[in-house]
Structure 1
Amino acid sequence: MSALTYVFVVNAVLASFIAESNIQEKNLSSKLPQFKEKNVPNEYIVTYHSKYYTQVRNSFISKRLIRGNVLKWSIISRYNLASHYPSDFDILHISDTNYTLIEQTLSFIRAHPAVKGVSRHHYVQRLLSYNNTHSTTYNIRHPQGVARDKYAKSGQQQHVAASLYADVLWKLGITGKGVKVAIFDTGLTQNHPHFRNVKERTNWTNEKSSEDGVSHGTFVAGVIASSKECLGLAPDAELHIYKVFTNSQVSYTSWFLDAFNYAIYKKVNIINLSIGGPDFMDSPFVDKVLELSANNIIMISAAGNDGPIYGTLNNPGDQSDVIGVGSINFDNQIARFSSRGMTTWELPVGYGRIGLDIVTYGSQVEGSDVLKGCRRLSGTSVSSPVVAGVAALLRSGVSHKIELVNPSSLKQVLVEGAEKLANYNIFEQGQGKLNLLKSMQLLLSYKPKISLIPSSIDFTSSYMWPYSSQPLFYGSTAAIVNVTILNGISVTGKIIGQPRWVPDPHNFGRYLNISTSFSMTLWPWTGWMSVYIGKRVKSLL
């Protein structure tokens, strides 16, 4: 069968997604995610093109609003570590209720040359409904953990470090030493016995304590760096704890922005975000993620727990500059809860591309409990710190060529070292199952390069579903494969020539009509290319 034979069109994809989801949902209890986004009343985030100290920022807004004769406003003070450093945003409170007056006020602010934008200050709630069981409410950006399953098979192996053969690297002295890993979560209990290198604990919430009252943050830290009992992957990694959720799991955009800025000041190497949400339109948050990547900070994020429905990837895990992680169990099966599908943040302008990068263990994994001992959790929030711990090991293993490690090069060695899982398509498993030792070998021999995700397109393969779901015929809509460009050479780059299609005349290449569109600029570390594949003539014969 020729590689020309199969292709997909957008409508067929959508129909197939729905049909597949319906089939998988039969005989299973349904889990229907509902999202409820809330704006913080009367509050707006004003972002600036550069970072300024508080007094300078206040002067920008004050002069504009006094000129506009608007009196009912105030700038909300932030009492955290970031207040000692220059910042690129403020929270503006406007108490007027007149919509016209508010819009006039915001237009005055937007007109200032130092102002980048003005958006609503908000948080998002996620409501998960379970048939015949119970309801649980999480707040977004929310921890992606799933409650312990008391009916899980007790005989399964849950030690991730052992399953990934991390001990092979430990015996070589590769333990994460010298790598700064930041954990954005619910905090960490002070003097927890499992950790030997907690560098700093910071609190960005409106609570007084940095203690972990949820246990989620402690568990995540344990998967990365526990040195006792339930061993983490990189026990000597330097932990930087950022509490960005209250004990009721509430978080605000401004808390993340301050904490992200502080992480940049502290020059952390890796950030783990066992969080995610549907609010990819939260531009201050998304822009800050891009800035973190541009500062050579490797960000790893959970894909989400909204599977098996397609189109459920969470932000920022599906951003091309972030390593998005899905879950498998210890039998190498994709976890039913693991989110999948195309990049949701690009759906408003198309149908996206492959946003899930890799999968790893995330079902009934052991990690540190809040005070001592171990517990088991499932969720992509478990898989994310597995990859963060692996990233810390990889980085510490190439200290002699550390200048080559960046968000793109690390993603390259992770996806190229991954193992394809049988019977799962590219939108379910990304590039496959994490393989620590193979990725370590690839990084040790790494030379800066540009690569593509996916690296090849085979429309005869079930792995490429739904691309392989419909024949390509004369006059049919062109197949469109959206490709991510990884630039391991530098944070920014340019494509200086049009990609060329060189057909293979011995394999019917002359019958294909190939064209492309692409991003001229690659930033930060990534870009995109759309490949349009059509049939040139009526028949292959």
Structure 2
Amino acid sequence: MGRIIKGYDFVNNDNDPADDDGHGTHVAGTVGGNGAGGTTTGVAPNVSLLIAKVCNSGGWCFNSDIVDAIQWSVENGADIISMSLGDTARSNTIHLAINNAINMEVVVIAAAGNDGPNPGTINYPGGEKNVIAAGAVDGSDVIAYFSSRGPITVDGEVLTKPDVSAPGINIISLYYLSNGYTIKSGTSMATPHVSGAAALLLQAARQLGTTLSPAQIKSILENTSVDKGLAGKDNNYGAGRIDVFAAIESLVPPPLGFINGTVMDSVDKTGIAEVMISTNTSISTMTDATGFYSFALTPGTYNLTATFLPTYYTNRTIMVSPVINAEVVQDIELLKKPTGNISGTITI
């Protein structure tokens, strides 16, 4: 992949996190494989990777190694920690390490587990409240029979988990013993899809000159997912199958058109200050000292009404249709109400 910037083997305590199982290579390819010399790419093919090996050749992992790897990832500037692993038992030390990472603005994503289809089978650390737990779906967006289901009770709070789902059945990715590919299934395969989506969100936000917190990443992925199963977030699919395009698109401000003009006296053509300009939406504005007003609106048709009571009659509603990146000038004339003196006697 060519973009591994640093690695460490916490199993053998050396700087060579060589894969002797195949699991890590497969998930890394799903996150960031760039397709060089092959036929497929990962979700975020330009991502840079930190590799932390915490499981042995048999797939067993010590909690202490996981904790050390989380801390190492934070210290080395990770934006996202992707954890394609899990256990039915909760580790308090892993819990604390994850909370520390999230408090340092690191997004943590973990597999929901492969203990489905019964409810209450979510694995840790995916079960932690602030971790994004990934369930697995097939190519038809059907939840995998093995994908762990919620709910899960954590610190006295019943949580709906997983949080989102992603492809996790028959996933083609890198093979650790050659330059070719292999196929694997599991929520471990769904997890890097979600991690890649999070990486693309962070990149898009930076290009737009902003940042996203772990909570915002979680919210965006949930709110833009394709809802599956029961309406809303449920304990099978979570909020639904992730939609990377919709997630990125949600960051982009809607295209705007512009309406501006001057509200003036219909006789002497002088601008009128503090006129309320309202639309057929909740959007309104006031004219400035010269009578000038301006709106930035999404394309559509708007009814403009200028009101300055009791001095002027309210104008007839004017229909205006702004177009993207274009300016529509709409001046408005108001007719002043006639004034005069009234004299007389009031008899009671």
Task: Write out per-residue CA displacement over residues 177-228 of structure 1, whole angstroms, 9 at most, x where no aligned residue.
Answer: xxxxxxxxxxxxxxxxxx0211112111136652111010000000011112
> What residue number does 2:132 align with?
323
Q: 2:99 aligns with which of 290, 293, 309?
A: 290
8 Å contact from structure 1 (residues 304, 313) kept in 2: yes
Shift of 1:295: 0.3
RMSD value, Cα? 1.8
Larger RCO (CA under 8 A, 6+ residues apart): 1
SS in 1 for 2:173: strand
Aligned partner of 2:180: which letter?
G
Shift of 1:401: 4.4
1:15-414 alignment runs, 5 A limit: 195-206=1-12, 209-228=16-35, 229-280=39-90, 282-346=91-155, 349=156, 352-370=158-176, 371-401=178-208, 403-414=210-221
Task: Write out per-residue CA displacement over residues 78-104 of structure 1, whole angstroms, 9 at most, x where no aligned residue.
Answer: xxxxxxxxxxxxxxxxxxxxxxxxxxx
Q: Distance in 2 between matches of 1:402 and 1:410?
A: 16
TM-score by length of 2: 0.68
Q: What stretches of structure 1 of length at least 5 have no aligned partner?
A: 1-194, 447-541
Q: Distance in 1 between matches of 2:166 and 2:65?
A: 29
Q: Distance in 2 between matches of 1:210 and 1:387?
A: 23
Shift of 1:319: 1.7
Task: Write out per-residue CA displacement over residues 200-257 of structure 1, whole angstroms, 9 at most, x where no aligned residue.
Answer: 1211113665211101000000001111223111111001100111112232222122
| Matched positions, count | 248
> What residue number does 1:441 align with?
249
> What residue number does 2:261 align with?
none
Change beyond 3 A, Cα 1:326–1:337: same
Aligned partner of 2:203: which letter?
S
SS in 2 for 1:236: coil
Aligned partner of 2:189: which letter?
V
> What residue number does 1:426 align with?
234
Bigger proportion of residues as helix: 1
8 Å contact from structure 2 (residues 164, 237) kept in 1: yes
SS in 1 for 2:235: helix
Shift of 1:355: 2.5
8 Å contact from structure 1 (residues 312, 344) kept in 2: no
Q: Distance in 1 between matches of 2:209 and 2:136?
A: 29
Aligned partner of 2:122: which letter?
L
SS in 1 for 2:154: helix
8 Å contact from structure 1 (residues 303, 324) kept in 2: yes
Task: Write out per-residue CA displacement over residues 118-173 of structure 1, whole angstroms, 9 at most, x where no aligned residue.
Answer: xxxxxxxxxxxxxxxxxxxxxxxxxxxxxxxxxxxxxxxxxxxxxxxxxxxxxxxx
Sequence identity percentage: 27
SS in 1 for 2:159: coil
TM-score by length of 1: 0.44
> What residue number does 1:483 align with?
none
Task: Write out per-residue CA displacement over residues 379-416 of structure 1, whole angstroms, 9 at most, x where no aligned residue.
Answer: 00000000111111111122144643111111111111
Q: Distance in 2 between matches of 1:379 and 1:423?
A: 22
8 Å contact from structure 1 (residues 224, 233) kept in 2: yes
Change beyond 3 A, Cα 1:330–1:443: same
8 Å contact from structure 2 (residues 126, 133) kept in 1: yes
SS in 1 for 2:236: helix
Change beyond 3 A, Cα 1:278–1:227: same
8 Å contact from structure 1 (residues 315, 345) kept in 2: no
Aligned partner of 1:379: which letter?
G
8 Å contact from structure 1 (residues 286, 316) kept in 2: yes
Q: Distance in 2 between matches of 1:409 and 1:444?
A: 15
Shift of 1:263: 1.3
Task: Write out per-residue CA displacement over residues 412-468 of structure 1, whole angstroms, 9 at most, x where no aligned residue.
Answer: 11111011124687111111111111111113349xxxxxxxxxxxxxxxxxxxxxx
